[in-house]
Structure 1
Amino acid sequence: MMDEMTGDGMRSEHEAIIIGGGQSGLATAYYLLRAGVDTLVLDDQPAPGGAWLHVWPSMTLFSTAEFSNLPGWPMPLYDGFPPAQHVVDYLTAYEQRYKIPVERPVRVDRIEHEEGIFRVRAGNKVWSAQNVVAATGTWSAPFVPNYPGTFRGTHWHSANYPGIEPFRGTRVAVVGGANSGAQIAAELTRVAEVTWYTRRPPRWMPDEVDGRVLFRRNRLRALAIQRGEPDPGADSDLGDIVALPEVRDARDTGRLQATPMFTSLDEVDADHLIWCTGFRPALGPVRRLLDGTTPRYSALHLVGYGDWTGPGAATITGVGPYAKQAAREIAESVGKVVK
């Protein structure tokens, strides 16, 4: 490949380009750079931290710091479950420690593939690469189910939930029977009249279970898949909701109680409706290069989209094996080796 430059003097041709500078992009870059692969990360955020820059103020990890590590370097210790800023600081330091080349903010508009080369376009900038890794996560693609009827209050999603202040003294409906719904509903019970809608009665994990147990289960699933065995699936008896301290307190004091799911928005009598209904892969310009969920080109790799790409792939600790596998395939394609 010719060593061309962009208009701002940056090199435009690389062996691999990673789209997304969050935990999945950094983990993949770590392995590629160790193998000597010429790598560039394009990130649409103004600073390091990925989706963790946008989570609600009280959100924490489900795991303690020692179970929340990217490859190569452990997260600094924290007493309890680390908050978002601790994670952002870790991702920032990780990027600096391994001198990961990131250009930001860059919002990729289009990706083209011709004669074995990808052209990655963002405005009037163009980069070329033999390999592309999509590591764009899910946070920017919140999912809201379709229900009949009309809700005349304010709609929110866990993706843009700002914390408790706008909801003081109001009536709030929270939809979703998993972790985000339980956490947001629990903290709002301190300041608002909350109705927590779930499709089925909440399935609480045992109080002693946290992300460490979930990580071990996901690791067993990933290893089985790598051996060519059937995916044993999630532990269906374990439950859906990690009983973090505030959630457990709200549940045990009776402030947090579930209400059967409504069938029409006309039934929701509240000032605010917060959808805690999950996300979809934020594939953006990568989508046109896929057949369903399968890349059309072997040099296109998807990393970090949850069970869609592998058990635990959307977690800080769980993404490592998938990042390493993508990096290994890329390195082999350019005559290098991931160790």
Structure 2
Amino acid sequence: MVDVDVVVIGAGQAGLSAAYHLRRRGFAPYTGFVVLDADATPGGAWAHRSPSLRMATVHGFHDLPDFELPEPDPSAPAREVVPGYFAAYEARHALPVVRPVKVSSVESLPDGRLLVSSDAGQWRARALVNATGTWTRPFLPFYPGHFTGRQLHYADYRGPEEFAGKRVLVVGGGASAIQVLSEVAAVGETVWVTRREPEYRDGPFTPESGRAAVALVEQRVREGLPVRSVVSVTGLGPSVAYRRAEELGALHRRPMFDRLTEHGVAWGEHEERFDAIVWATGFRAETAHLAPLHLRTPAGGIRLTGTRATDDPRIHLLGYGPSASTVGANRAGRAAANDLVTLLGDPHEREPAPVR
């Protein structure tokens, strides 16, 4: 059993930002705070992205605080560039990342502290920053019927090669679907379906539009509703992948089908055959280990005030709702650290521990 002030779960962008700001505010590595990461190597979700995702087609990336990402080769795989950057960041700031550690539960103890249990031991903490992201929880919607062909979620997509010469149905209205369309349409035939008509954004994504989008997501988490991603309210912008998909004629959206069939899908009585279905249908927040804290509302979400759980000020959620973007994660890390100093006291002002 290890005692610390703060446990950070997750070493992706949000977790590293929180760790940087905790250290900057005076929390000592390993004794004041620790970062528990489930992966064996740095990189967070970026290490698991498709090899075909290049830095030129990444849907926005913001540097971590106090260390810029060196200008990358636009053709370099994002799953190599970003994990390398994260590894350098951990080393540069001497962040106390312990891996691989898979957290199974977080419980409240009678003395007011938190017990964090994992496959690598237990930590006792006064507060917790949950930065586990969404990559481990891909969302697959239910549709009646049974398709016998190839089906995969975007989390398992590894590039267009396996779809050469095939007819592929791409499901989803976000940046992931656009990436798949921009690649697969170059080697096979694609059909794009979404539940709602896609919203398109002309021109650059301005700070004003960003604040408006974040405000919409923040309202939902304040009310304890299931979160929507920031991307879901920003619309599709003129990215490299979008322009490529447009050039390939792959952006002719159709409405969602009614059911799966043995060889494809059907809209009413009209059936079409496909060799594969790629579900680019998003992810859900990984918060199952927080279940013993009973934070979830009847509506299905966790109420937040800023990054702090409204019903338990010891808990902060980063990469959840409005902070589920690289720029949002940076801001959330700073906000959480500042709030924890208020809750726990300024480490710089504490009496030194007695020498035993």
Q: Which residue of 1 aligns with 2:6?
A: 16
Q: Which residue of 2 aligns with 1:100?
A: 95
Local SS of the residue matching 2:59: coil
Q: Which residue of 1 aligns with 2:268?
A: none
Change in Cα spacing, 1:221 to 1:177, as seen in structure 2 (3 Å) is closer
Q: Which residue of 1 aligns with 2:296?
A: 291
Change in Cα spacing, 1:143 to 1:234, as seen in structure 2 (3 Å) is closer
Offset from partner CA, 1:116-154 (integer Å, 9 cap, x none): 111111136111111111100011111111111211112
- Contact 2:217-2:229 at 8 Å conserved across structures: no
Measure how far apart 1:193 and its partner are.
2.0
Q: Which residue of 2 aligns with 1:25?
A: 15
Change in Cα spacing, 1:301 to 1:241, as seen in structure 2 (3 Å) is same
- Contact 2:52-2:158 at 8 Å conserved across structures: no
Match of 2:64 among 43, 61, 70: 70
Q: Which residue of 2 aligns with 1:61?
A: 58
Matches within 5 A, 1:143-292: 143-206=139-202, 208-209=203-204, 213=205, 217-219=209-211, 240-266=235-261, 268=265, 269-289=273-293, 290-292=295-297
Q: Which residue of 1 aligns with 2:107?
A: 112
- Contact 1:303-1:323 at 8 Å conserved across structures: yes
Q: Which residue of 1 aligns with 2:341?
A: 331
Deviates more, 1:80-89 or 1:24-33: 80-89
- Contact 2:11-2:43 at 8 Å conserved across structures: yes
- Contact 1:179-1:240 at 8 Å conserved across structures: no
Change in Cα spacing, 1:215 to 1:139, as seen in structure 2 (3 Å) is farther
> For residues 336 and 197 of structure 1, what CA distance do their matches in structure 2 show?
52
Q: Which residue of 2 aligns with 1:9?
A: none
- Contact 1:173-1:195 at 8 Å conserved across structures: yes
Local SS of the residue matching 1:159: helix
TM-score (norm 2): 0.79
> For residues 106 and 314 of structure 1, what CA distance do their matches in structure 2 show?
22
Change in Cα spacing, 1:271 to 1:100, as seen in structure 2 (3 Å) is same
> For residues 314 and 39 of structure 1, what CA distance do their matches in structure 2 show?
23
Aligned Cα RMSD in Å? 2.9
Change in Cα spacing, 1:224 to 1:191, as seen in structure 2 (3 Å) is closer
Task: Give the paired residue count.
Answer: 311
Change in Cα spacing, 1:169 to 1:252, as seen in structure 2 (3 Å) is closer
Measure how far apart 1:80 and its partner are.
5.0
Offset from partner CA, 1:24-72 (integer Å, 9 cap, x none): 1000011101111111000001111100011112324223x6xx12222
Local SS of the residue matching 1:27: helix
Change in Cα spacing, 1:13 to 1:259, as seen in structure 2 (3 Å) is same
